[in-house]
Structure 1
């Protein structure tokens, strides 16, 4: 089914509108002196027949002359010619139907059916004035109704086109988010993996238990990260668990140089956020902050819910003598910019990310809507 007949709901609404029109035509005939029963039997079936005729014909006319592609004169000419043909066919069907009713001795007007049938036959052959008075309004009404059907079908086609564009845009956004997540996975610093494996190799001789624990954490980290989907949000608790695995692995490499403090309020842990949102920030905190320091440094993550907002803060110590600041281009600024773009794609203007540096501390603050629900919604 196509156009207004694309679904049962639109078909019912369309036929209901034509049924109301048939009742209106029957009322007009009854007001002119016709019998109510005969008027209904004449007008309602004729309206339903014309509903299907105009519905299908107007749909193919609209498809043949699409808006924005076909010139306006061609649209008017094509719709006008089709309207004239279909209206003339409707008049012929109406005459045949009226003649059939007359032959069944029904009364349609003040005259007996036999006399009316005789008058119709005479008018058909000789062009009686009574028949002309019937055909002219019926033809004009048919043209007008056909024009309305064309307008309705154009509206339906345009709404379908807009819906398809919205669906394509949504699919494109989902594909872009999937590609972005895959890119983030590939951006997990290869040196992190290599350094982790080297640390495991070194620990096998000095601390076999530590090597085994680090191997398990590394496997757990990649198991969690590879199981995430870009279009399914995770709870803050799940995201922090991934960050803990990452920082625990880095602590094996840096030892006492890397200290970690994670403080998240209970009502914030159930809030949803895009996956792998915090891991790049934690990675930058280690790589551009702790990794450039000789003395021990702290990475602190705090999360709290403030009404309808979720606030997350990631802080890390930095070398005060380091010329290339962690927030400079090529450092944490790239990670913050990526996070800012992901927040804008997911929440629009309702979320944001900013960074500041105060002395020996580098801070990234995220603000996003505090959504709650089942993980992955």
Structure 2
């Protein structure tokens, strides 16, 4: 229904245009030849409708058979010139034939004394109208071709962006699993009970994360569940050495973000912050909404004099690339390292709605 409706509207518009042209031509003929207007309308209007339908189909198929970018220009000009001359001749002949038949019935309102000059004028007019129809069809074909190419390019960009996001997301789980298994391995000898508890927590964490893996975006509340589950795993390993403070704005809980966006940053804070401090340290997570922006800040303490640790950059690089792919210039991530602390700040659009399937 949605496809046929525009076609019907287009057909109605074309019919109205042809009727208007027919009436204009009939009026011009009546003025030039000093004949009754009714006779001119009855002769010219049907001929104009027949001519418009015939030339419309002819121009459409010729333009498709001889596209501007697929045939030599001289060939296109030659073919269209011959078609225009033939269309003009056909219109003049049809007018003369219709007029001759009308005169046979000797009806006062039918038939006109058409001179060769009038027929020549309609021939030239027919040629011009056909050329105009060809120009319109070429413009429409080029418009459709440009729109199709644009849609294909946008679709290709979207598919490439989604593939990149999937690639970046697949880097997270193996990285986190590798670190967690190393922690479990270290605990097996010194704290077997803790290793068992950590294994159970790890299984629960991946059960939860796999449930969200099919989504391109999840809510901040769902991301916080993952983070708290991860911290529960690390709490088994570090005990009281790991302290966590949260400052979460309730208005930000329903905002959407890519899944497991903050968790790698929390993991980095534990690995490069708490892990390197003899007495442990505190990780502070602040999430708030400021108008149209969602702002996330992660702060962790560092051991004074602790040298900067160069890992594989998985966490920060992954977050930066995922934000760039999902939001472009609308999102940003900055980090700052000082003597006794490290801070990461994220600013991104505050979007709400249902979570999106990936």
**TM bin (shorter chain):** 0.7 to 0.9
User: Relative to 1, partners in 2 of residues 1:26 and 1:54: Cα closer, same or farther, differing over 3 Å?
Assistant: same
- Alignment match, 1:221: 209
Q: Secondary structure at the match of 2:172?
A: coil
User: Mapping of 1:236-247 within 5 angstroms?
Assistant: 236-247=220-231
| Aligned twin of 1:351 | 331
Q: How many residues align?
A: 348
User: Aligned runs of 1:179-190 on 2, under 5 Å?
Assistant: 179-190=163-174
Match of 1:249 among 233, 245, 256: 233
Of residues 175-184 and 284-293 in structure 1, the stretch that sits farther from structure 2 once superposed is 284-293
Which moved further from structure 2: 179-188 or 40-49?
40-49
TM-score by length of 1: 0.77
Decide whether the 8 Å contact of 1:235 with 1:270 is kept in 2.
Answer: yes
Return closer, same or farther for 1:324/1:70 CA change in 2, 3 Å cut-off. Answer: farther
Q: How far apart are residue 136 of structure 1 and its match?
A: 1.6
Query: Is the CA contact 1:199–1:253 (under 8 Å) kept in the aligned structure 2?
Result: yes
Which structure 1 residue ranges, 5 or more long, are not aligned?
121-129
The alpha-carbon distance between structure 1 residues 24 and 323, as it changes in their structure 2 partners (threshold 3 A), is farther
User: In the superposition, relative to structure 1, how do residues 248 and 222 fare at CA in structure 2: closer, same or farther (>3 Å)?
Assistant: farther
Q: What is aligned with 1:360? A: 340
Deviations 1:190-233 (CA, angstroms, capped at 9, x unpaired): 25224545666868952666654442233112222x2213xxx4
Distance 1:105 1:273 in 2: 83
On the 8 A contact 1:313/1:365 being kept in 2, the answer is yes
**Inter-partner Cα distance in structure 2 for 1:79 and 1:6:** 28
Q: Equivalent residue for 1:206?
A: 193
Could you tell me how far 1:290 is from its partner in structure 2? 4.1
1:148 alignment partner in structure 2: 132
8 Å Cα contact 1:336-1:355 kept in structure 2 = no
1:338 lines up with 2:325 in the alignment:
no
8 Å contact 1:297–1:316 — kept in the other structure? yes
Confirm or deny that 1:306 pairs with 2:290. Answer: yes
State the shift of 1:332 in Å.
4.9
| C-alpha distance in structure 2 between counterparts of 1:183 and 1:10, whole Å | 46
TM-aligned CA distance change 1:209 to 1:282, over 3 Å: closer
Could you tell me which residue of structure 2 aligns to residue 124 of structure 1?
A: none
1:135 aligns with 2:119: yes
Cα drift, residue 137 of structure 1: 1.6
1:59 aligns with 2:53: no
Alpha carbon RMSD of aligned pairs, Å?
3.4
Shift of 1:187: 0.3
Give, in whole Å, the separation in 2 of the partners of 1:104 and 1:366.
88
Given the two structures, how large is their TM-score scaled by the length of structure 2? 0.80
* C-alpha separation in 2, matches of 1:51 and 1:369: 54
Classify 1:35/1:276 alpha carbon distance in 2 versus 1 (closer, same or farther; 3 Å): farther
Q: Equivalences for 1:62-141 in 2 at 5 Å?
A: 62-107=63-108, 113=111, 116=112, 130=115, 132-141=116-125
Deviates more, 1:361-370 or 1:10-19: 10-19
Residue 309 of structure 1: CA displacement?
A: 2.3
Instruction: Give, in angstroms, the shift of residue 183 of structure 1.
Output: 1.0
Contact conserved, 2:336 with 2:342, CA < 8 A, in 1? Answer: yes
Structure 2 runs not aligned, ≥5 long: none
Match of 1:123?
Answer: none
